């Protein structure tokens, strides 16, 4: 007689079976599991397993990441792996991951995949693809070397200098940096005094993260990468100093959207009051800097299963349930669209034009002043 499937957190008793399951899906699974267990904010609830009749049918690995959105920090759950047996529906394990994010105080969930496969679970694209070729001028005299733990403080400072104006960058503390260095292929560029002036993270044939002390060092980094690495392109934000240096050297930057069937970064809101509470410092800042500075009133988000009200008073934003009357109503909002609005990927006017939310014409300017519009960053 078949027993009911159980979705639960993994325990030490699952270690052997979990490794067998992971290895059956990927040759690098052992490294992925070790990296997962060593993350600074790891706790057992973030390793999910599906059990039936004493056998593990599937597993999921979730990491706790912090994203910076202007003045706000968003606690996010990144679903790094969904490992499914042949008879296990993906939606069942995905739903457990979303519920785990909610229980663990992570109001935003992240995953990589095709939007048309995850839209029903509330996930949507939240970034554009930005890509440029490395410049052809290559200086073999500039030497890169592998980063070491002694470089972490310098790299952290370069990251802050290069990403402080870029929204939705990760927010890392020193334990994050040490884990990050262990898990990535990182090279650094030293000056004549052996000071680290730039770094780059290499993945496949591209640079997926970089930092430079100034524009001159950014140019030197590009030249050194072309001479000493297999990297062929940059996958960095458009306003990043290294991307800007590539433009100055004659490269073209391609910015495009992902299509619905293409593998892309996706985000989904699992706790709307929690997310609005976390991003409220940035919403307050944007309102104060806009032509609507000093506005006081309330916005109500009306989803199919929930209503939430965001109230602005005396420059502060506070989240309430949706039972009270509201000055502005965002009606029939779809959950994926709301994730795109909160993270700045699309404006309220754009969502309204496609029928993914309804609101009055007269309030579009105010809504777009409050919510970020930073997707090209």
Span 50-99, pLDDT tens digits: 998 888 889 999 999 999 999 999 999 999 999 887 778 889 999 999 99
The percentage of residues in the chain with a pLDDT greater than 70, rounded to a whole number, is 96
On whether both 240 and 331 belong to a single domain, the answer is no
Is residue 271 over pLDDT 60? yes
Whether residue 236 is found in the same domain as residue 310:
no
Task: Tell me whether residue 16 is in a domain.
Answer: yes
- Domain end: 256, 281, 306, which one? 256
Please give the residue range of the domain that contains residue 243.
130-256
Task: Locate 142 and state its tokens.
Answer: 């500039």
Which residues lie below 8 Å from residue 48, measured CB to CB, with a gap of 6+? Answer: 7, 8, 9, 10, 59, 60, 61, 62, 93, 96, 97, 100
pLDDT given at position 141:
67
Given a cut of 60, whether residue 375 has pLDDT beyond it is: no
* Out of 23-27, 60-64, 104-108, 279-283, least confident range: 23-27
Residue 217 inside a domain? The answer is yes
- Which segment, 162-166, 190-194, 339-343, is predicted with the most confidence on average? 339-343
What is the CB-side half-sphere exposure of residue 57 using CA atoms within 13 A?
19
Q: Are residues 142 and 226 in the same domain?
A: yes
The reported pLDDT for the residue numbered 86 is: 76
Range from 179-188, 338-347, 350-359, 368-377 carrying the lowest mean pLDDT:
368-377
- Domain harbouring 319, CATH code: 3.30.1050.10
Considering 227, 256, 285, which residue would you say is the last residue of a domain? 256
Reading the block at residue 245, the tokens are 């240096």
Does residue 376 sit within a domain?
A: no
The pLDDT of 230-251, averaged and rounded, is 90
Q: Is residue 174 pLDDT above 50, yes or no?
A: yes
Mean pLDDT of 338-346: 95
What local confidence, expressed as pLDDT, does residue 307 receive? 95
> How many domains in the chain?
3
Residue 264 lies in a domain: no
Q: Tell me: do 64 and 169 sit in the same domain.
A: no
Q: What length does the chain have?
A: 377
- Whether residue 265 lies inside any domain: the answer is no
pLDDT at 17 over 50: yes
Same domain, 20 and 81: yes
Residue ending a domain, choose from 256, 280, 299: 256
Whether residue 197 is found in the same domain as residue 155: yes
Select the highest-mean-pLDDT range: 57-66, 138-147, 228-237, 244-253. 57-66
Residue 5 has a pLDDT of 87
pLDDT at residue 168 greater than cutoff 50? yes
| Residue 226: HSE in the Cβ half-sphere, 13 Å Cα cutoff | 16
The model carries a pTM of 0.93
250 and 134 within one domain? yes
pLDDT in tens, 3-13: 688 999 999 99
167 and 91 assigned to the same domain: no
| Distance from C-alpha of 73 to C-alpha of 258, rounded to nearest angstrom | 26
Please report, for the domain that includes residue 76, its CATH number: 3.40.630.30
> How high is the pLDDT of residue 140?
59
> Are 173 and 204 members of one domain?
yes
Residues 151 and 47 in one domain: no
280 with 349, same domain: the answer is yes
pLDDT mean over 178-197: 93
Residue-wise pLDDT tens digits, 291-332: 999 999 999 999 988 999 999 999 999 999 999 889 999 998
Q: Is residue 263 part of a domain?
A: no
Within a domain: 1: no
Which of 25-34, 119-128, 157-166, 350-359 bottoms out in mean pLDDT, i.e. has the lowest?
25-34
Q: What is the mean pLDDT of residues 15-29?
A: 82
| In-domain check, residue 149 | yes
pLDDT at 1 over 70: no
The predicted structure's pLDDT at residue 2: 57
Helix or strand run (H / E) with residue 274: helix 272-289
CA distance 367 to 150: 46
Other Cβ atoms within 10 Å of 182 Cβ, number: 12
- What is residue 21's predicted lDDT score, i.e. its pLDDT? 86
173 and 243 inside one domain: yes
Q: What are phi and psi of 184, to 5 degrees?
A: -130, 160
């Amino acid at each position: 007689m078949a027993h009911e499937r159980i979705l639960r957190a993994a325990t030490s008793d699952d270690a052997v079976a979990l490794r067998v399951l992971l290895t059956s899906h990927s040759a690098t699974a052992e490294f992925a599991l070790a990296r997962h267990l060593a993350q600074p904010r790891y706790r057992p609830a973030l390793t999910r397993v599906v059990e039936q009749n004493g056998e593990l049918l599937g597993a999921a690995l979730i990491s706790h990441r912090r994203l910076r959105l202007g003045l706000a920090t968003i606690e996010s759950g990144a679903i790094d792996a969904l490992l499914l047996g042949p008879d296990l529906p993906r939606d069942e394990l995905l739903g457990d991951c979303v519920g785990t994010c909610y229980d663990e105080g992570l109001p935003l969930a992240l995953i990589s995949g095709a939007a048309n496969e995850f839209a029903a679970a509330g996930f949507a694209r939240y970034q554009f693809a930005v890509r440029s070729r490395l410049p052809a001028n290559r200086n073999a005299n500039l030497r890169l070397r592998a980063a070491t733990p002694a470089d972490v403080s310098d790299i952290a400072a370069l990251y802050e200098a290069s990403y402080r104006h870029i929204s939705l960058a990760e927010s890392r503390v020193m334990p994050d940096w040490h884990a990050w260095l262990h898990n990535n292929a990182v090279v650094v560029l030293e000056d004549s005094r052996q000071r680290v002036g730039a770094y780059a993270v290499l993945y496949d044939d591209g640079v997926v993260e970089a930092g430079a002390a100034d524009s001159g060092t950014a140019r030197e980094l590009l030249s050194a990468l072309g001479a000493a690495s297999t990297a062929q392109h940059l996958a960095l934000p458009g306003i990043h100093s290294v991307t800007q240096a590539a433009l100055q050297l004659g490269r073209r930057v391609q910015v495009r959207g992902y299509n619905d069937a293409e593998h892309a970064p996706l985000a989904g809101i699992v706790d709307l009051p929690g997310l609005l509470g976390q991003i409220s410092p940035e919403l307050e800042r944007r309102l104060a800097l806009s032509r609507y500075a000093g506005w006081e009133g309330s916005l109500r988000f009306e989803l199919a299963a929930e209503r939430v009200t965001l109230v602005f008073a005396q420059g502060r934003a506070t989240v309430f349930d949706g039972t009270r009357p509201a000055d502005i109503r965002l009606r029939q909002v779809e959950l994926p669209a709301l994730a795109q609005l909160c993270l700045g990927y699309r404006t309220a006017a754009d969502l309204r034009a496609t029928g993914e939310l309804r609101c009055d014409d007269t309030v579009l300017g105010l809504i777009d002043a409050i919510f970020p519009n930073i997707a090209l960053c």
